[in-house]
Amino acid sequence: MTKVLRFPTVLLLACSALAGCVSQPVSMYRLDNGTVEVPEQVDGAAVLLGPVVIADYLQRDVILQRHADGSLAEDAQAVWAGNLEQNVDQLLLRQLASRLDTQRLEMSPGSKGFTPEIQVELEITRLDSGPEHPAVLEAQWRLLDKDGKRQGGRLVRLQEEHQGSTADQVQAQSVLLQRLSEMLSDAIKPVLAKNAEKNRVARSPNKAEQTPSLAPIEAIRTDMEVFRF
């Protein structure tokens, strides 16, 4: 007697779905650092980058897609190659090093003995796009001097068009971060120049406290005669 093996319908459907998922390739993406030059100045300005905070909804491996109604959905065939937060940190670090012409940049909290002239605190609250939606970056930064005093800050919203593919979207998001780096460097440069001027004045002698040189005292001669009675 022939035995007929029967599999539950649910199991067969699950196997079919699994086979379909396996056959679909998954693409991996990283942000583009752009054109950066390695600075030659090893004794340039000391800059501390961070903390850099990225919105919770971005902290995942799968790339998100924004739809026409504004909702976000995961793209099962597109993932980040590595940690997105670290990718953003390295892009910003290299961009700022090139634009500020210094190798003395470190990520927060910085190494032991590193004393920054300025610190950049950054919060990225939005960085996403969709096949029919431009890439959008929303962020806020604060600049602090070595004493922790606020030297500036700004809220920004940047937008970049793209051709619709996931690769084009990732490239557009990279361009937004590069534009953010340019804005940060433009804000940092005047503060560094101001600090340099203060240090120059502090090193120069204070003329107001210098003892004025006195002319040699000369005896005053007179032709007057003194008569005594």
Q: What is the per-residue pLDDT for 108?
A: 95
Within the chain, which residues score under 50 in pLDDT? 2-19, 21, 224, 226-229
pLDDT digits (tens, 9 = 90+) for 93-147: 999 999 999 999 999 999 999 999 999 999 999 999 999 999 999 999 999 998 8
Domain boundaries defined on the chain = 25-200
* Domain 25-200, CATH class in plain words: alpha beta
- Please state the pTM of the whole predicted model: 0.78
Q: Which pLDDT value is given to residue 16?
A: 45
Q: What is the 3-state secondary structure (H, E, C) of the chain?
A: CCCCCCCCHHHHHHHHHHHHHHHCCCEEECCCCCCCCCCCCCCCCCEEEEEEEECHHHCCCEEEEECCCCCEEEEEEEEECCCHHHHHHHHHHHHHHHHHCCCCEEECCCCCCCCCCEEEEEEEEEEEEECCEEEEEEEEEEEEECCCCEEEEEEEEEEECCCCCHHHHHHHHHHHHHHHHHHHHHHHHHHHHHHHHHHHHHHCCCHHHCCCCCCCCCCCCCCCCCCCC
Q: What is the pLDDT of residue 2?
A: 45
